[in-house]
Each structure stands twice: as structure tokens, then as C-alpha cells.
Amino acid sequence: MTMADRITLAHGSGGRASHRLTRDLFVACFGGDILASLEDCALLTLESGRIVVSTDSFVVEPIFFPGGDIGSLAVHGTVNDLAMRGGRPLYLTVGMIIEEGFAIRELEIIVRSMKASCDRAGVAIVAGDTKVVPRGKADRIFINTTGIGVVAEGVDIAGGNGRPGDRIILSGTMADHGATILCQREGLAISGAFQSDSAPLNLLVARMLKAAPGGVRVLRDPTRGGVGTTLNELALASGVGVRIRELDLPVRDDVRGACELLGIDPLYLANEGKLLAFVAPEHGEAVLAAMRDDPLGREARIIGEAVADHAGLVVLETAVGGNRVVDMLHGEALPRIC
Amino acid sequence: MTMADRITLAHGSGGRASHRLTRDLFVACFGGDILASLEDCALLTLESGRIVVSTDSFVVEPIFFPGGDIGSLAVHGTVNDLAMRGGRPLYLTVGMIIEEGFAIRELEIIVRSMKASCDRAGVAIVAGDTKVVPRGKADRIFINTTGIGVVAEGVDIAGGNGRPGDRIILSGTMADHGATILCQREGLAISGAFQSDSAPLNLLVARMLKAAPGGVRVLRDPTRGGVGTTLNELALASGVGVRIRELDLPVRDDVRGACELLGIDPLYLANEGKLLAFVAPEHGEAVLAAMRDDPLGREARIIGEAVADHAGLVVLETAVGGNRVVDMLHGEALPRIC
């Protein structure tokens, strides 16, 4: 590859330099006939007309962090949004906004990381776009990923499908991603070896759906705003109350220590490789068992139930036996967490 | 609507402020049951499994300009990319990256403008995402739009489908968008009333396909890099030579004047509401006539032909009867044109 060391405005001009970057980096790494055709748009054939679509922009800072980078985060984030509707993710588009002067070596690392994440999740990048803005007009790199998946017949999963009695399952420990990013950013050297949990959840979801067809009613990945905010959204959408037990909420000890230092409740810190599920009570144990067979669900736990009381409210039974209402995240504590 | 006057980091946190912005501005304006469901992902049913997908990020500066703004530009840009594969655009996703402190009044104008453009093009916004970055980490607002369209049976349009003999049609005057943006940015007060040509081309394309089923082989909108760069791409993709005649290239007099002042060839300036078509020779006149019946194709012209000679090269017959090779745009002249 004979490219300059740094991204220049010419790489975003649509001219010869743009073409070279597209061909030598994006097409070379992402591969695939569809992308290689270099059309402005990808032509795809889907096996089913019932699809899910999701979009997310990623502005995380720092762009490289323990457990991942902005590229893998972007792929996993969009794959997970599709999986949370019971979709089988198939295709991604990638839109990059790059600051002039960004090192092409770093761009390569990000692109390779995206490719590895796509391979792990079984999705293909089918269209892309790159814009370059002058120095100081963006912060290094922002990435938008938009995903398309197909939904099998009979699958009906939505935030509004929860019912009283549903078991609420969390697939693993809380706050790993958020704590990692904040510690990196604040330069906190905290003892412990936690890292971002960023991971694609689609295969875990496939196991869950197989274990209890029709039994999984709600899926949602508790990213920005954390488990606390997400449960509030789901309680509102389903018109149910949510009761969770503090003692059942899994948090790594080192992450809990970091949260105390940061002064932030792990309930509000982002997760990027975890899911919350509402499961019909008779299927709760079967789904839990299936999850524990998956590397990404090994620490899954039933953390509470949906209830008919206090619709729209999330109530936490505290470790000492009291009750407190868990509100949505409020205020502007946590920019650029994803 | 009771929102603060300016975007704060809280609007991007995923918590209560994010929810309020989504509900009171995006859902209220864009409407639609799919978006209103506030899922992380939209569930759609398509009539055909043959789809086109395209993504584009928009970083245009200034964000408001004669003839449009970053919002309408984003909608038209993606609608047009879908139409250029013969797709019928149906759905868009919108990802916004907003700088802290951006005026909500301006965001509202942009959102309404996007909605108006969607209505004109007949597409719906089905999913969205908003990120906020601290002051100085982005320049006001960047917008990604990703689009999905369906492709009718038998339609086969691609950059590689051109053949020697094809008539090359340009749907109207060149360089209006690029000249408008550059004049605005340089503060050039140029006499004349030209403005961006930003417009959705899907209805024009539908007319063309109807006029000559199978006759339209290649469609491409000459955005970044202009007609010159786009013709080079198409010549390469189709493995044909391209001959165009300078005297047949439509440029408004005031735009030509602006280009002279700016020192830029209108062949390399972006268009945002124009298309280039390669049409089988026997259908050239029929397609041209159909285009002229459309408000966006009134000034359509046959500007040249694809030829078997000099494959991959674009040759311009100059006004004085000479020949010159038109290369792709080279260098970094024109950042943030779209």
C-alpha cells in the first residue's frame, strides 16, 4: 500500500485519493464482491421480507481502550441492536468522519478490528462512506454503523412485550464498558484487570430463542444509561413495574471499586456486551441454562421480575432489605462513552 | 416543547434528556409508528427481497445555504444513491453527531427540512441515533443517512453496465451545488441567483425506467468530484471510453462566472440534484423526452457517448474542436462540500 502516512482532505474529496483509500484499505480489508463493486449503493437479496434496521454513531473517547476500540464497538453495537429485536444480523454499512491528520496506521487498526468483529458476528460490510474534515473540526474519528437483519417467522420481541410475572435476566456483570472508558479517560490506574465487555450478542440471542420459542418477550442491551435507564425504558414501554434485587446484580469487585472512586452508580454505566431479557416465567430457567452455555452468558442471572404494581417504575430491593426507586439517568455525567 | 435553548451533553447521554429530545423533536416531527415505538431498531416488512442499501455522512459547511441545508442534503443524497441503482427508496435511518452548545432552534429547522425532503421523495425515517460531543470536538452538526430501497424485478442498473454506443445524458446544469457552497464559504457575493440543486431524483428515475424498460444501463449522481470524476469512474467500471462535447455541457452563466472566480473547473464541482445516465442508443431520445417532462430533468441533454476506443478514459471535445483528457479530480481542493 502506498499511501501517505496521514489522512488528508484529499482522501475525502471523492477524487483519486478517495478512490485509492477505498480500494487499498476498505475494500482490501472488508472484502466481499458487493463492496468491491464500488457502487454508491449495495444490491442485496434477502431471504425474508421481514427485516430489522438500526443505526448508531460512535464517538467514544479514547478510541482505543482495554477490550476494544471504536471500530469493534461500532460493529458490536449495531449487531446487538438488531439482535435485540430477534433479528439475525446480516449486513452493515459504515460511515466514517475522519479528522485531517489522523494516522492511516491507526485507521488500519480500526478497520481490521471492524473486520474481525464482523467475522465473529457473521455479518458483512456492504457499503461505506468516508468524509474528511479539516483539523480541529472533529475529534480524530467518528463512525456510524447501520445494520440490516432478517427476522424469522414467529419471532416477536419488543420493548413493549413484557408482562407481569416475566423473569428479568441480565446476561453478565454490569458497568464493565463504562467503567473502563471513564478510568482510561480520567487516567485512573485502578487495580484490577477489568476491560470493556464489547461483544456481539447475536449468537447468544439465537441460543435463547432456540431454548424457548415464544418464551423470550423482551431483549435490550443496556448501553448508554446502563441497566437502570434501560429497565426504566422497558417498564414504561411494557406498562409494567420492575422489581430487581441488589444482591442479584452482578458487578465485578474491581469495577465496583472503580465506580466508587468515580462516584457513579454501576446501574447507570454503559454495557456493550450484555443484554437484559424479559422471559415468560415458565421458560425462565430454560433460557437461563441456555445462556450459561454461551461464553457471553456464563454469568447470566435472574435479577428480578416484572410486576403488575407500580407500572413504569423500577424498584430496587436493597441489600439491607429496603426499597428504592431507580430513576433514569439524569444529568450530563457521561459523554462519549460509546 | 420545553427544552433548553441549546444542546447539552445530557442530550446525548441516553438518559432522560435524550429521551425528551427524541420524543419532542425527532418523533414529533418525523412521525410514523415505527419511529414512535422508540425501539433501538426498526422492524420493517418489504414487498421484495431484492433491496439496495446506501450510506452517506454529511459534513457540509456552511450547514445552511441557498437551496437547502445539511438536513435536506442528507435526505436527497441518500435517496439519490438508492435511485441510481434503480431502487425505489423507502426507508432512511438518521445518525446525528451534534456539538455541545448547538442551538435547538437550528436543529429544529434541520429536522423539519429533513421531514419535508422525505415527504417529497416518499420515504420514511424509521430509526435514529443522536450523539453529543463536547464543544470544540465537532463542528456544529454532522448527519449520517442510510437508506433502503427495493428493486423491481428485471431492473439491472450498475456502473459497470455501460456499452459502446450508449448515449450519455446529463439531467441538467453542472456545478450548481459546489459553486453555491464555495461562494458561501468564501463570502463571495457573486451576481446571479444560482443556488444548490439539492433534490430527490427518484421520481425522475422512475419516469426514465418507465420510458425505456431495459434501456437505461447506468445511472450515477455526480456529487463529490463532479461530472468529470464520475464519468471517469463509469468509464473504468464499464470498460468503455467516454466522449463528451464541451458545447453540450450545460452550465449556468452565473455559475460559470463563479467557477472562473474560484479558479475551479465546473466539471469537478459537486451536483446534488443531477444524474448521469448511459442509455442504449435506440432508447436515447425516448429517455431524454421522458426526463424533460420532469421538473428536475427539464434541461436534460445528451452530452456524449460511450465508445469502444480509449477504454477507461474520458475525452472532451473542446469548443474549439480539440480533444483533451478529463482526469479524475486530483488534490484536496474541496473539503466539506457535502
Residue A330 clears pLDDT 80, i.e. is over it: no
Residue B137 clears pLDDT 80, i.e. is over it: yes
Chain A partners of B58 at a C-beta cutoff of 8 Å? Answer: 131
Q: Distance between CA atoms of B338 and B326, rounded to whole angstroms?
A: 23
Residue A132 clears pLDDT 90, i.e. is over it: yes
Task: Determine the residue of chain B that is closest to A10 in CA distance.
Answer: B332
Chain A partners of B81 at a C-beta cutoff of 8 Å? Answer: 40-41
Bridge pairing between strands B68-69 and B216-220: unpaired
Chain-chain contact of A19 with B328 (C-beta, under 8 angstroms): yes
Q: What is the pLDDT of residue A81?
A: 96
Chain-chain contact of B39 with A158 (C-beta, under 8 angstroms): yes
Task: Determine the residue of chain B that is closest to A56 in CA distance.
Answer: B129
Q: Which secondary structure element, helix H or strand E, spans residue B134, and what is its range? A: none
Cell of A286: 430454560
Residue A303 clears pLDDT 90, i.e. is over it: yes
CB pairs A-B closer than 8 Å: 283
Q: What is the pLDDT of residue A36?
A: 76
Question: What is the number of alpha carbons within 13 Å of residue A196 lying toward its C-beta?
Answer: 27
Task: Determine the residue of chain A that is closest to B223 in CA distance.
Answer: A14
Chain-chain contact of A133 with B59 (C-beta, under 8 angstroms): yes
Residue A332 clears pLDDT 60, i.e. is over it: no
Residue A191 clears pLDDT 70, i.e. is over it: no
Q: What is the pLDDT of residue A155?
A: 94
Residue B3 clears pLDDT 60, i.e. is over it: no
Task: Determine the residue of chain A that is closest to B231 in CA distance.
Answer: A15
B135, B114, B71, B98: which is closest to B11 by C-alpha?
B98
Chain B partners of A233 at a C-beta cutoff of 8 Å? Answer: 19, 38
Q: What is the pLDDT of residue A112?
A: 96
Bridge pairing between strands A314-317 and A241-245: parallel
Least confident of A110-114, B260-264, B269-273: B260-264
What is the percent of chain A where pLDDT is above 70? 97
Least confident of A183-187, A200-204, A266-270, B311-315: A183-187
Q: Mutation test of the interface with chain A: which of B7, B20, B39, choosing the one with the most A Cβ atoms within 10 A? A: B39
Task: Determine the residue of chain A that is closest to B139 in CA distance.
Answer: A137
pLDDT digits (tens, 9 = 90+) for B6-47: 999 989 887 888 888 989 999 999 987 778 777 778 888 887
Task: Determine the residue of chain B that is closest to A19 in CA distance.
Answer: B233
Chain-chain contact of A144 with B148 (C-beta, under 8 angstroms): no
- What angle is formed at CA B327 by the lines to CA B325 and CA B328, rounded to 5 degrees? 160
Chain-chain contact of B330 with A15 (C-beta, under 8 angstroms): yes
Chain-chain contact of A224 with B13 (C-beta, under 8 angstroms): yes
pLDDT digits (tens, 9 = 90+) for B38-93: 777 888 888 777 899 999 999 999 999 999 999 999 999 999 999 999 999 999 99
What is the percent of chain B where pLDDT is above 90? 81
Inter-residue contact B289 to B229 (CB < 8 Å): no
Mean pLDDT for the stretch of residues B112-132: 96
Q: What is the pLDDT of residue A176?
A: 97
Assigned CATH for B3-151: 3.30.1330.10
Residue A317 CB neighbour total at 10 angstroms? 16
Q: What is the pLDDT of residue A265?
A: 94
From the list A49, A97, A147, the residue facing B48 with the nearest CB is: A49
Q: Give how far B71 is from chain A: nearest CA, Å.
A: 16
pLDDT digits (tens, 9 = 90+) for A141-167: 999 999 999 999 999 999 999 999 999
Residue B243 clears pLDDT 60, i.e. is over it: yes
Confidence of residue B315 (pLDDT cuts 50, 70, 90): very high
Confidence of residue A35 (pLDDT cuts 50, 70, 90): confident
Tell me the domain boundaries of chain A: 3-151, 167-325
- What angle is formed at CA B70 by the lines to CA B255 and CA B76, rounded to 5 degrees? 80
Chain B partners of A177 at a C-beta cutoff of 8 Å? Answer: none
From the list A40, A159, A220, the residue facing B220 with the nearest CB is: A40
Cell of B198: 439539492
Q: What is the mean pLDDT of chain B?
A: 93
Chain-chain contact of A330 with B16 (C-beta, under 8 angstroms): yes
The residue written with cell numbers 472533529 in the block is A138
- The one-letter amino acid code at A276 reads L
Task: Determine the residue of chain B that is closest to A93 in CA distance.
Answer: B55
Q: Per residue in B217-255, is it b (16+ CB within 10 Å) or e — as a string?
A: bbbbbbbbbbbbbbbbbbbbbbebbbbbebeebbbbebb
From the list A41, A332, A333, the residue facing B52 with the nearest CB is: A41
Confidence of residue B107 (pLDDT cuts 50, 70, 90): very high
Least confident of A29-38, A204-213, B99-108: A29-38
Q: Give how far B134 is from chain A: nearest CA, Å.
A: 8
Chain-chain contact of A15 with B51 (C-beta, under 8 angstroms): no
- The one-letter amino acid code at B267 reads L
Chain A partners of B220 at a C-beta cutoff of 8 Å? Answer: 40
ipTM exceeds 0.85: yes
What is the percent of chain B where pLDDT is above 70? 97
Inter-residue contact A63 to A141 (CB < 8 Å): yes
Q: What is the pLDDT of residue A4?
A: 65
Chain-chain contact of B51 with A59 (C-beta, under 8 angstroms): no
Q: Give how far A319 is from chain B: nearest CA, Å.
A: 25
Q: Give how far B183 is from chain A: nearest CA, Å.
A: 18
SS3 label, residue A186: helix
Q: Distance between CA atoms of A296 and A225, rounded to whole angstroms?
A: 21
Confidence of residue B1 (pLDDT cuts 50, 70, 90): very low
Least confident of A205-209, A331-335, B50-54: A331-335
Confidence of residue A14 (pLDDT cuts 50, 70, 90): confident
Chain-chain contact of A49 with B50 (C-beta, under 8 angstroms): no
Confidence of residue A1 (pLDDT cuts 50, 70, 90): very low
Assigned CATH for B167-325: 3.90.650.10
From the list A13, A49, A335, the residue facing B9 with the nearest CB is: A335
Residue B331 clears pLDDT 80, i.e. is over it: no
